[in-house]
Amino acid sequence: MAAGLVRREWSSVELTEAALKRIARLDRSLNCFITLDADKALADARRADQALAMDRATPLTGIPLAHKDIFCIEGWRTTCASRMLADFVAPYTATAVARLQEAGTVTLGKLNMDEFAMGSSTETSFFGHTANPWALDRTPGGSSGGSAACVAAGLTAAATGTDTGGSIRQPAAFCGVTGLKPTYGRVSRYGMIAFASSLDQAGVLAGSVEDAALVLACMAGLDPSDATSSEHRDPWLEAVPRAGVGTLADGPLTVGLAKEFFKAIVAGGERIDEVRRTLERLGFRCLDLSLPHIAAAMPAYYVIAGAEASTNLSRYDGVRFGHRCAAPQSLADLYERSRGEGFGAEVKRRILTGTYALSAGYFDAYYLRAQKIRRLIAQDFAEAFKQADLLLAPTAPGTAFRRGQLTDDPVAMYQQDACTIPVNLAGLPALSLPCGLADGLPVGAQLIANHFDEERLLKTGAALQQATDWHERRPNLGWAEAA
Ligand code: GLN
């Protein structure tokens, strides 16, 4: 798209109109968008066309994007897929999105997700579920399911997402697109509605590693408005808009495979074996190793994330913003009914378990113990990175499950995150790469790197995508003609 813009083969207005047309045709069945604003998008596109005409363009100028509805954008309704924020118009813009807008991208709209990013299927949204473009009766994964389905169906070339426990990588795997969760601190969390602040990280879903890197380069960097955003400078990442991802220069790398990750697999294991063979063919050394504590990651995560969510979500009390119940009789009644009506069942479950884990008498047994497990898991990874430069794992235990299949079993839903959550607890960067199909549905392979080593992570991902064409497979959209 960018090359065509520079060569004047098409304008940003034309790209935007084409995207709007495709969305009109496909999104009735998919439900990726919570909010779409053609007027605002076309105004962005006209501005981008002016910048292009004056040769003031970045590689992203004029490219239509869409953003997970967890990012505040000034003047845009920002719902987090909750009834609580169904009418909330953000008064300011998240830094990650502001940087993309300053680079000249077009904002088409806001994408569906699990309510407050809690879930693995995009079924808990107040605005209805999103369908997987590979099979409409399957979930797209979650919580960034709207972003994954949007990219898989070719509605946008890339979309933002957030990953607290796997919410970029697992939907990317389910929809056959590339998903990048950066190192914690790489991208500012300012203006991203908080779920679990010690884990939340913004990232991107795209059609390729090259595209994901381009978007990351734009979003990343220190932000004084987020005290946990990192000062780490990365000359390689800063050069990506000019030089691309580039190739590995520092000799053969070692890729570790931890046996504990592979215990979780229920489908698609032979695809990960194939990735291993491809890496070996490309000259990587593969090494079996162990991360002994990661089986405890899931319970530790659901204590820590719940605890942080219960405090973060206490701000929704019906007083300053968000849903307010009708005719409150007292302050307690205002709180109780506003929260009771505004939050869905899964969000309430997190608030209840999180509050319990933090309460006097239980704090040591749950929250403190979970923090100790978190430390052990981080140490496991630190040991592993003494032996290996990168780790290879499945992204999810299986392929996209059917809508409704796990909705009555929260723990089975949480087990979806078995392979992604350890990475968040340790704050590491990771990629999910499409690596072929199992029973006609996409499988994702996960590459994990050490802190701030996005360079080797993305260069390795790009090397795999140069050697294979798994990432170019797109779903058959025959259902669109039938509809
Ligand atoms: N599925 C996980 C959860 O429900 C991860 C969510 C996320 O990464 N935002 O907490």
What is the band of 251 on the pLDDT scale with cuts at 50, 70, 90?
Answer: confident
- Residue 135: pLDDT over 90: yes
In 3D space, the residue among 155, 80, 94 whose CA is nearest the CA of residue 124 turns out to be: 80
- Residue 482: pLDDT over 80: no
- Residue 451: pLDDT over 80: yes
DSSP 366: I
Q: Supply 23's token pair.
A: 């969305």
Pick the atom of ligand 1 nearest to 167's CA: 8
Q: What is the pLDDT of residues 312-341, one digit of tens each?
A: 999 999 999 899 999 999 999 999 999 999
First-to-last C-alpha distance (Å) of the chain = 28
What is the band of 483 on the pLDDT scale with cuts at 50, 70, 90?
Answer: low
Question: Does ligand 1 come within 6 angstroms of the Cβ of 180?
Answer: no
- Residue 252: pLDDT over 90: no
The CATH code of domain 2-291+379-482 reads 3.90.1300.10
The pLDDT, as a whole number, for residue 249 is 86
Q: What is the pLDDT of residues 228-237, one digit of tens each?
A: 999 999 999 9
What is the band of 250 on the pLDDT scale with cuts at 50, 70, 90?
Answer: confident
Distance CA 387, CA 450 (A): 12
- Positive or negative: CA dihedral 287, 292, 296, 300: negative
Distance 163 CA to ligand 1 centre (A): 7
What pTM did the predictor assign? 0.98
- Residue 146: pLDDT over 90: yes
Q: Is 143 a catalytic residue?
A: yes
Question: Does ligand 1 come within 6 angstroms of the Cβ of 118?
Answer: yes
Q: Going by C-beta distance under 8 Å and a sequence separation of 6 or more, which residues neighbour residue 179?
A: 144, 148, 161, 163, 168, 169, 171, 172, 173, 203, 204, 205, 212, 395, 431, 432, 444
- Residue 65: pLDDT over 80: yes
Q: Going by C-beta distance under 8 Å and a sequence separation of 6 or more, which residues neighbour residue 346?
A: 114, 115, 118, 119, 124, 410
At residue 58, the 3 state secondary structure works out as coil
What is the band of 481 on the pLDDT scale with cuts at 50, 70, 90?
Answer: confident
Distance 446 CA to ligand 1 centre (A): 17
Nearest CA to ligand 1 atom 5: 165
- Residue 247: pLDDT over 90: yes
Q: Among 11, 12, 68, 121, which one carries the catalytic annotation?
A: 68
Q: What is the pLDDT of residues 336-360, one digit of tens each?
A: 999 999 999 999 999 999 999 999 9
- Residue 96: pLDDT over 70: yes
Mutation test residue for ligand 1: of 118, 124, 298, the one with most atoms within 8 Å of CB: 118
Q: What is the pLDDT of residues 371-412, one digit of tens each?
A: 999 999 999 999 999 999 999 999 999 999 999 999 999 999
Q: Supply 68's token pair.
A: 């997970």
Question: Does ligand 1 come within 6 angstroms of the Cβ of 144?
Answer: no
Q: Where are the domains of the chain?
A: 2-291+379-482
